[in-house]
Amino acid sequence: MNELIIALVGQPNVGKSMLINSIADARLKVGNFSGVTVEKAEVQFMAQERFIKIIDLPGTYSLNEYTQDERVTKDFLENEHYDLIINVVDATNLERNLYLTTQLLELGKKMIVALNMMDEAHKEGICIDHEQLSSILGVPCIKVSAATKRGIGKLLNRAIDVSLFPFEKSKLIYSDVVEEEILHLEGFLSGKHYKSALDYRDLALKLLQNDRGIYQKMHDEPLWVELSPLLKEALEHLYLHHETKDVSEIFAQERAAFAKGAVTETVTCKKSVSLNITEKIDTLLIHQFFGIPIFIFLMWGLFQLTFELGSIPMDWIDAFFGALGNYAKTIFGEGELGSLIADGAISGVGAVVMFLPNIVILFFGIALLETTGYMARVAFLLDGFFHRFGLHGKSFIPLVTGFGCSVPAYMSARTLKNDKDRLITLFIIGFMSCGAKLPVYVLFAGAFFAENNAGNVLFLIYIAGALIGLIAAKFLKVFVFKGVDEPFVMEMPKYRLPSLKLIWHTVVTKAVMYLKKAGTFILGASMLVWFASNYPKYPSLEERYDQKIELASSDEEKVTLSNEKAQRLLEKSFLGMLGKSTDVLFQPIGFDWKMTVALESGLAAKEVVVSTLGVLYALGSDVDEGNEGLIRELQKQIPFASSVSFIIFVMLYLPCMAASVVFMKESGSYKYLVYLFVFTTVIAWGLAFVGYRIALLF
């Protein structure tokens, strides 16, 4: 049985995802390309007794290597095995889309052009002579609409037919001067009977385009001595006619000219009232004064939904995993195995699954804004301000998401296609105080500041974290991810009704990937934290306290002794030993060993900081940020200056374990996690030291 492998290629916002969903129905499989965070969607099915596999490549404006998506697409098209390219173009914006088409034609592969969104083109009065366009390009052009599924069957049937016919070269031609030099080089190669896997025209074209691989291959051959002066003369001829010595710019002009000519020959437009609907909406949504307030209101609404509505199932999930842990203890007993499974594995995995409702709601909202075309407007609105700090306009979404939870924030940074922009954003998300840090802030603000000022202190903490994050971004841009900003097209797609099927697919994909990424590693890491806080064992100490508890005369005395026992065991555990051994590093910023242990336990989850302090001050692990006893203990045991230092450190140091794992996956390397640990720790320690010294003055 023959297999037909099809590469689906197109620019962003051409309806490629909707097209593959229309083809796929329930047969779509989603994963990642090897070694990168770029998503890979595939669909496999039978048609006309052939096994067909379609691979949806990342949307890209061109086959350059500026963004990770472009590199992945270019690498696949040049190095992987496939039989046919389906190039999806937006029929309402044909000239811009044909730029990529010209680059695909240069690959010398069998190809079909899918003229998508024909339903919208008809509404806007755009008529395309697809037969004439096929004749100009030299490849079949098929009218389709992914939204209405019209032409999908015809597209697949034509793909099967094309795969069976012998390959015919496209009719891509350039200006007279380029064609003249191609002809000269072809004649030279032909006269020398040069053996090449490429035909002479393609080889000549790659030589004129300064293709590195071809240059390296031919440089060591005897032919190069005669070819080199001819090539130099040809390039000088091109430079003269195009008034530039940048070859990539020359061929960009050539492709743009070909695309413009093809559109002029094949597209006619009639006046349509609906043509200006997008422009009318934009007068309000990207208004100089009203645009940003409208966006802030929409984001406020989305986050209210995310964390208010999401908190309801979060409580249910928390209760479920709590009950599951108790049930595990009834099966495996209250001993070591039961504690490992219940307090280590189930508790750790539960902490990850608990955030799933927030992630589903958040990504539903973001997918809704993206599919309508609004998110591109947001990037446009904020791009100027964010560029001052070395960020991209699209960085706003991950950064604001970070105030809720760093895990979905790191995942939503995928909307940034450029590596440097994405990495800078990933590095500063942790400075946006997540919801898990709030109990720590509330506890210390309530203990060390007047009640009428506690709210102002919380506001200052959140604002200070965001400002430090922006300054850190500027530092990273100038000293680490340095370099001149390369141009990046921010497209303004037309407003469209959201595709519920596409939104559903996006949300489900993100949710599954979150569970796979965060859940698997967290299981092992949670068990490691459980081991560090429960070992080594001290049977004689436990036995002594158990006897005291048994002889206690009142329930209150039993609770006190139980809390004291937990305190002593935690102090002597590996986690306690780590805290005491590293205490010398934190003494200059006013920490004692108990504060150090609480801080280090927060690496697992920031929520644990408060309960760890409860154990260390012999009040039990059930205390929360409003516990009067814990507040009194902190006021007695911790100086004011140390509390300021502690708040600053919590505000800035490494995010929780779940977030750190997702950061490592999204950044693409464990080494970036090491850099993040050093980067955040140095900033947290340095600013905590400054805060501590200033607070001492008061």
Write the pLDDT tens digit of every residue in 67-98. Answer: 778 888 888 998 889 999 999 999 988 988 99
pLDDT value at residue 21: 77
- 156-165, 225-234, 384-393, 643-652, range with the lowest pLDDT: 384-393
Residue with tokens 């490849």: 139
SS3 142: strand
Nearest CA-CA partner of 17 in 66, 47, 56: 56
Query: What burial class does residue 670 get, using C-beta atoms within 10 Å of its C-beta: 0-12 exposed, 13-18 middle, 19+ buried?
Result: exposed
CATH level 3 topology of 3-164: Rossmann fold (3.40.50)
| pLDDT more than 70, % of the chain | 87
Whether residue 543 has pLDDT greater than 50: yes
- Residues 194-216 have a mean pLDDT of 86
Check: CB of residue 131 under 8 Å from CB of residue 277: no
- 403-412, 430-439, 503-512, range with the lowest pLDDT: 503-512
Check: CB of residue 211 under 8 Å from CB of residue 198: no
Check: CB of residue 569 under 8 Å from CB of residue 616: no
Check: CB of residue 680 under 8 Å from CB of residue 429: no
CATH 3.40.50.300 residue ranges of the chain are 3-164
- 411-415, 512-516, 543-547, 620-624, range with the lowest pLDDT: 620-624
Show Cβ contacts of residue 629 under 8 Å, excluding neighbours closer than 6 positions. Answer: 619, 623
When pLDDT is cut at 50, 70 and 90, the band that residue 522 belongs to is low
When pLDDT is cut at 50, 70 and 90, the band that residue 680 belongs to is very high
DSSP state of 111: E
What's at 340, amino acid-wise?
A: L
Q: Retrieve residue 523's tokens.
A: 């299981």
Q: Retrieve residue 447's tokens.
A: 């203990």
Angle among Cα 92, 60, 112 to the nearest 5 degrees reads: 60
- 79-83, 230-234, 537-541, 614-618, range with the lowest pLDDT: 614-618
Rounded to the nearest integer, the mean pLDDT of the chain is 81
- 261-270, 482-491, 548-557, range with the lowest pLDDT: 482-491
- Residues 389-397 have a mean pLDDT of 80
SS3 552: coil
- For helices 628-637 and 438-448, the axis angle rounded to 10 degrees is 70
Residue with tokens 């903490």: 461
Q: What are residue 437's DSSP bridge partners? A: none
pLDDT value at residue 28: 63
Rounded to whole angstroms, how far apart are CA atoms 356 and 471? 31
Whether residue 557 has pLDDT greater than 80: yes
Nearest CA-CA partner of 663 in 647, 648, 677: 677
Rounded to whole angstroms, how far apart are CA atoms 412 and 405? 11
pLDDT value at residue 348: 63
User: 370 or 59, which is more confident?
Assistant: 59
Q: What are residue 126's DSSP bridge partners? A: 269
Check: CB of residue 254 under 8 Å from CB of residue 178: yes
SS3 18: helix
Rounded to whole angstroms, how far apart are CA atoms 575 and 602? 12
Q: What are residue 267's DSSP bridge partners? A: 128
Q: Could you tell me how many helices (H) and strands (E) the chain has, helices first? A: 34, 9
Show Cβ contacts of residue 77 under 8 Å, excluding neighbours closer than 6 positions. Answer: 7, 9, 57, 63, 85, 104, 107, 109
CATH 1.10.287.1770 residue ranges of the chain are 176-269
Show Cβ contacts of residue 85 under 8 Å, excluding neighbours closer than 6 positions. Answer: 6, 7, 9, 77, 104, 107, 109, 110, 111, 112
SS3 302: helix
DSSP state of 36: S
| pLDDT more than 90, % of the chain | 18
Check: CB of residue 339 under 8 Å from CB of residue 534: yes
Q: What are residue 52's DSSP bridge partners? A: 4, 45
pLDDT value at residue 275: 46
Whether residue 12 has a cis bond before it, omega within 30° of 0: no
- 327-341, 531-545, 622-636, range with the lowest pLDDT: 622-636
Across 163-167, 525-529, 679-683, which has the greatest mean pLDDT? 679-683
Distance of CA 546 to the CA centre of its chain: 51
DSSP state of 286: T
When pLDDT is cut at 50, 70 and 90, the band that residue 177 belongs to is confident
Rounded to whole angstroms, how far apart are CA atoms 632 and 625? 12
pLDDT value at residue 423: 92
DSSP state of 275: G
What are the tens digits of pLDDT across the range 417-472? 677 888 999 999 999 988 778 778 878 888 888 777 777 787 788 889 989 999 99
User: 35 or 407, which is more confident?
Assistant: 407
CATH level 3 topology of 176-269: Helix Hairpins (1.10.287)
pLDDT value at residue 553: 78
Rounded to whole angstroms, how far apart are CA atoms 313 and 311? 6
Query: What burial class does residue 333 get, using C-beta atoms within 10 Å of its C-beta: 0-12 exposed, 13-18 middle, 19+ buried?
Result: exposed
Rounded to whole angstroms, how far apart are CA atoms 388 and 396? 13
Check: CB of residue 368 under 8 Å from CB of residue 498: yes
Rounded to whole angstroms, how far apart are CA atoms 261 and 188? 30
When pLDDT is cut at 50, 70 and 90, the band that residue 1 belongs to is low
Give the Å distances, CA to CA, from 178 to 169, 444, 502, 632.
18, 71, 43, 82
pLDDT value at residue 327: 85
Nearest CA-CA partner of 349 in 575, 512, 525, 606: 525
pLDDT value at residue 618: 54
Rounded to whole angstroms, how far apart are CA atoms 412 and 416? 9
Give the Å distances, CA to CA, from 51 to 167, 251, 396.
20, 38, 43
pLDDT value at residue 27: 60
- Residues 115-128 have a mean pLDDT of 88
Alpha helices in 402-535 (DSSP H): 406-412, 419-428, 438-448, 454-475, 500-534
Whether residue 6 has pLDDT greater than 90: yes
Distance of CA 493 to the CA centre of its chain: 21
What are the tens digits of pLDDT across the range 363-377? 788 778 777 778 777
The four Cα atoms 264, 268, 274, 276 give a dihedral, to 10 degrees, of: 30
Task: Tell me how far apart the terminal alpha carbons of the chain are, to the nearest angstrom.
Answer: 82
DSSP state of 115: E
Angle among Cα 134, 137, 141 to the nearest 5 degrees reads: 35
Across 182-191, 397-406, 452-461, which has the greatest mean pLDDT? 182-191
What's at 106, amino acid-wise?
A: E
